[in-house]
Chains A and B, each alone.
Chain A
Amino acid sequence: QVQLQESGPGLVKPSETLSLTCTVSGDSISGYFWSWIRQTPGKGLEWIGYIYHGGSTTYNPSLQSRVTMSVDTSMNQFSLQLTSVTAADAAVYYCARGYRYGDGYYYFDSWGQGTLVTVSS
């Protein structure tokens, strides 16, 4: 059974870069769409973007100018970088596996436990 685990600093200073890594175990990273999703009490669940195992990406336009995702298939990991963070970026960040089937249907079938990121000086 696939397992996902987020890692990275829980505290980031305003204007700095948030960096998180998701380590995938129990299955290959190939063949899936790997997403980052964040959750706040105010905005709920927000999809940040995905990276395919080959490296192609699609980002949420609301964050596109600040987001970079990368994948390391040799380590079975993928990563998120979010630049110029503000208090509005404080959230629980989840990594999730996206599965595509049929005529472009997608769903998130496995999630990490989530990691709380606080933005404060």
Chain B
Amino acid sequence: DIQMTQSPSSLSASVGDRVTITCRASRSISTYLNWYQQKPGKAPNLLIYGTSSLRSGVPSRFRGSGSGIDFALTISSLQPEDFAIYYCQQSYTTPWTFGQGTKVEVK
């Protein structure tokens, strides 16, 4: 299985901050990388697919980048509704696997 490792596991930030979450695959996954946001008591919600394609309706402050084994999700200016847990997920090969999550908390 391809292991997905996110860092940090959690971070504290303020509204307006630029936040970057990284995701590393245990082997190359090209650009087969998706990002999801999960809020308490809710299912994950797709933000970015194919490493850098923004899902329709997702604010442009979210940006995905990377290829191979290293990927990043950047939120350019954190908004109150962005405090949540973020997960990366590889779709390069089954079994599809997720990172352990990064919790973005209020500083």
Contact = CB atoms under 8 A, between A and B. Distances in A.
Contacts of B89: 45, 107-108
B34 A107 contact: yes
Interface residues of A, number: 22
SS of A interface (majority): strand
B106 to A, nearest CB: 21
Given A107-B46, A111-B45, A61 B95 contact: yes
Interface of B: 1, 32, 34, 36, 42-46, 49-50, 55, 87, 89, 91, 94-101
Given A105-B49, A105-B50, A107-B49, A47 B43 contact: no
A15 interface: no
Contacts of B97: 47
B64 to A, nearest CB: 12
